[in-house]
Amino acid sequence: MRIRSVRGALWEQRSVKLIHYFSDSNAAGPSLKIVIRIVLIGAVVAGLWFAMQSLITKREKDLAAQAAKPRPLPTIAVETVTGETWQRYLFAIGSFTAVQDVNVTNEVEGIVTSIDFVSGQQVNEGDVLVTLDTSVDTAELQALNAEQRLHELQFERSERLVAEHTISKSEFDIAAAKRDEATAMTRAKAASVRKKTIRAPFGGTLGIRKIDLGEYLDSGSEIVSLQMLTPIYLDFSMPERFISQVSLGQVVEAEVHAYPSETFRGRVTAVEPGINRVTLNMRIRAKFDNHGRRLRPGMFAEIRNTVAQRDDVLTIPQTAVTYTPYGNSVFVVRAEGAQHRVSRRQIDTGEVRSGRIAVLRGLSAGEQIVSAGHNKLRNDMSVQIEGSEQFSSLVKD
């Protein structure tokens, strides 16, 4: 207890001194307060500066340590420049057209009494499609038949009488003329009745029906479209300078957007004898079997017209080429001891087929080029190759 009381007394004395000190400071004026504030602010700023310098120094040491570590080599895939023989083609665009394509119409007017087809139906030549009302025409035909029989009887009677010299030759001629007239009128009416039964003019595929039951049709009204789809024609044009390379029976390959992974083959069946004076193109027609009726009239087609000549070309994967406004380039791989390095080389490219591109200049057969991973490369850079054990035996200086 005595020790605690002594400590308390000491703290009392110190507190009194501090109070007297600050009382004296206040009495001394505001200048001392300003000095104390400046000292405190300077101490805080100095502490912050030293802390920042410590962090910066640590960061620099970490970056230096990281830079000192060896970087892993970029991994690439390689392919060999190969020589191929490509069939030469003439390229064009065209569209398919049906061998037969009509809108079925009626020759005589009438009311539709029967529709004997459905939209999209396959029909044969002569199949009945539509029947028009023939009640009035049938009655008129019966009357004409009766009149024809009467005139035939009168002609037979006149024929006997003229032989007996009972009537004159002119009366006999009148009877013959009336008989012929009645026969002709009967045949005309019979033909008119037959025309009220509309039939398919050829076998093919019907389109969408354009009439309804009970509808009155004027002559020439469109009933339904009819197209023959097997076989099918492909019409296209080519510049006149290729006329010597086009011949009948030549193979034509066509690709359509509806079947992007499939190629259809046909043969040239006709070449327009004249050249269009405006476009200076010649018109060509090829025929395709079109089994399954997948090709339809009006389809757009990209065409390759096969010619007899073949070309020997160097090819590489299309993905290996870097395309820039200043030219196309590839990275060529070379071996330097145990390491592999790449160097950028400018090339001239040509046609693209099935993911491979023809190289016209800049590479030689057998050279190794980077086919994947070239986006992270730069000139004269060391690389790591997939399957390096197999590759080291292929790459030569």
Token pair of 215 as six digits:
């509808």
CA–chain centroid gap for 363, Å, is 33
Integer-rounded Cα Rg, in Å, for the chain is: 50
Architecture (CATH level 2) of domain 90-96+226-310: Beta Barrel (2.40)
Average pLDDT rounded to a whole number, residues 22-47: 68
Cα→Cα distances 260→140, 207, 256, 265, Å: 60, 26, 6, 14
Q: Mean pLDDT of all residues in the chain?
A: 83
Longest dimension (CA), the chain: 187
Q: Which amino acid is at 294?
A: R
Phi-psi region of 358 (alpha: psi -120 to 50; beta: other; left: phi over 0): beta
Contact assessment for residue 228 and residue 99, using Cβ atoms and an 8 Å cutoff: yes
Closest CA to 322 of 366, 367, 365, 372: 372
Angle at 161 between CA 157 and CA 162, to 5 degrees: 115
Closest CA to 268 of 90, 102, 88: 90
Cα→Cα distances 64→67, 148, 233, Å: 5, 120, 73
Token pair of 9 as six digits:
């007394």
pLDDT of residue 71: 65
Question: DSSP states of 156-222 as a string?
Answer: HHHHHHHHTTSS-HHHHHHHHHHHHHHHHHHHHHHHHHHHTEEE-SSSEEE------TT-EE-TT-E
Contact assessment for residue 132 and residue 108, using Cβ atoms and an 8 Å cutoff: yes
Q: Comparing 2 with 158, which gets the higher pLDDT?
A: 158
Token pair of 178 as six digits:
């009336």
- pLDDT tens digits, one per residue of 51-77: 888 888 888 877 776 666 556 777 778
What are the φ and ψ backbone dihedral angles of 100, each rounded to 5 degrees?
Answer: -130, 130
Assigned CATH class of 75-85+312-391 = mainly beta
Within a 10 A sphere around the Cβ of 182, how many other Cβ atoms? Answer: 21
- pLDDT tens digits, one per residue of 202-240: 999 999 999 999 999 999 999 999 999 999 999 999 999
- pLDDT tens digits, one per residue of 100-147: 999 999 999 999 999 999 999 999 999 999 999 988 988 888 898 898
- State percent of the chain over pLDDT 70: 87
C-alpha to C-alpha distance for 203 and 126, rounded to whole angstroms = 8
Contact assessment for residue 227 and residue 98, using Cβ atoms and an 8 Å cutoff: yes
DSSP state of 107: S
Question: DSSP states of 231-291 as a string?
Answer: EEEEEEEEEGGGGGG--TT-EEEEEETTSTT--EEEEEEEE-SS--TTT-EEEEEEEE--T
